[in-house]
Structure 1
Amino acid sequence: MRKLYSFLFFMTLTVSAQIELKIDSISSTDISPKKRKFFINYHIKNLTDKEISFFLIPNSLIAHSASSLTLFPVYKIFQNGVFEDVDGPFYERTFKEQDDLEDIDDSDKSKKIIEEITKKYLSEYQAIIENYKKNGGKNTEDMWIYKNQKLLQNIVVLKPKETQNFIIQTNWNKKRYYKIDDNEYYLNEKDKFEIELSLYLDKSNRKNSLSPEEFSKINSYGNFIQGTFTSNKMEVNFKE
């Protein structure tokens, strides 16, 4: 049993030694009486002497409570040092125009912008499928093709010892009270809040979004990494 624990401990150290994940700074600005924009600057460093790859959408984030099989960095909120597993106060951006759309009160203008965004992303969707088929892709299911191509577009590659810097822009609507099921949560402005990022890098569970050849190549490639990597904690401003 002692040998098993030693082996598991060694494997944990081996995985965690592959990359460094660190929050460098968090700044914020009030862009309206009801919205504060945050800028989370962080970096990922390849600690190895080999090129490594992994699936990741690095410029958005998602709460820990909603993070199953996500491609986003996952955040945890700590209130006075205690982790609070709440879905919020930050939310992932599903499209880059989302922030501007949230600020529009005019329903007619909002509807027009939604129509334009829908048209734009439908055109992108169709172009991805057409390009896949034109280049000899074998799958005939359009939604699978789209998910497959988007997944392959979200591969981060780090050269030996390379550091890549990223910025996550996210908003807080200044809501302080949250209730999820029977759990209540309150962002008390007098409390200390910290955020922590984690990467849940995964390749084994991407089989349904990859062709058999793609999955076999990625899953067998030792430098296409997976594992859980956690950053430092940094204070985040929820004061008035």
Structure 2
Amino acid sequence: MRLLYFLVFLFTFSVSAQIEIKINSISTTDLSLKKRKFTIKYHIKNLTNKEISFFLMPKTLIAHSASSMTLFPVYKIYQNGVFEDVDGPFYEKIYAEQEGFEAETDSEKRKKIIEDLTDKFNTEYEKTIEDYKKNGGKSTDDMWIYRNQKLIQSIVKLNPNETKEFEITTSWNKERYYKIDDKEFYLDEKDKFEIELSLFLDKSNRINSLSPEELSKIKKDENFIEGRFTSNKMEINFKE
């Protein structure tokens, strides 16, 4: 039994030692009485002497409670040192225009933003399919092609001991009470809040988005890493 514990510890340590994720700074700007922008700057460092790769979309974030099979950095909010597993107060954003939609109160302008976002997605979708077929792709399933190409495009490579800096811009609508199912969460301005980022890197469960050849190649590549990697905690401002 002691040997088993030691092997588990050794495996966990070796996985954790592959990369470092660290929050460097968090800045805020109040855009209005009901909206605060957060800019989270962080880095990922390759701690090995080999080039490594992994799947990640590093410029947005998603709550831990909604993070199954995610490609985004996952965040946790700690209230007075206690983790609150609630979906909020930040939400993932694929396009910068989503910020404008949330801030806009005029119904016609909101409708126009939705139309623009739809057009942007459709243009990106069609070009992705077109490029795949031009480059000799064999699949005829357009939805699969789009998922496949977005996944392939999300591959991050780090040279030996290389550090890459990233930035996430997100916002809070200054709501303080959240309830999802039986979970409640209140951002009391008198409390201390901290945020932590994690990377849930995965290559083994992408069978629905990769061709058999791609999946086999990536699974065999020991330098294409997977595992869970967690950052430092940093205080975050939810005060008035």
TM beyond 0.5: yes
User: Any unmatched runs of 5+ in structure 2?
Assistant: none
Structure 2-normalised TM-score?
A: 0.98
**Which residues of 2 match residues 97-176 of structure 1 at below 5 A?**
97-176=97-176
Instruction: Provide, for residues 133-174 of structure 1, a one-character-per-residue CA deviation record: whole Å limited to 9, x for no partner.
Output: 121111110000000000000000000000000011010000
Of the structure 1 ranges 107-116 and 30-39, higher mean CA displacement relative to structure 2 is found in 107-116
2:204 corresponds in structure 1 to: 204
Instruction: Provide, for residues 14-52 of structure 1, a one-character-per-residue CA deviation record: whole Å limited to 9, x for no partner.
Output: 000000110111111100100000011100000000000
User: Any unmatched runs of 5+ in structure 1?
Assistant: none
Supply the AA of the counterpart residue of 1:6.
F
Q: Aligned equivalents of 1:78 and 1:200: distance in 2?
A: 19
Q: How many residues align?
A: 240
| 8 Å Cα contact 2:97-2:113 kept in structure 1 | no
Shift of 1:116: 2.1
1:68 corresponds in structure 2 to: 68
Of the structure 1 ranges 181-190 and 7-16, higher mean CA displacement relative to structure 2 is found in 181-190
* Off by >4 Å, runs of 4+ in structure 1: none
Aligned-residue Cα RMSD (Å) equals 0.8
1:217 corresponds in structure 2 to: 217
1:33 corresponds in structure 2 to: 33
Of the structure 1 ranges 186-195 and 92-101, higher mean CA displacement relative to structure 2 is found in 92-101
Supply the AA of the counterpart residue of 1:46.
N
Shift of 1:105: 1.5
Q: Aligned equivalents of 1:27 and 1:218: distance in 2?
A: 37
SS state of the match for residue 194, structure 2? strand
Q: Aligned equivalents of 1:41 and 1:14: distance in 2?
A: 26
Structure 1-normalised TM-score?
A: 0.98
Shift of 1:70: 0.3
SS state of the match for residue 120, structure 1? helix
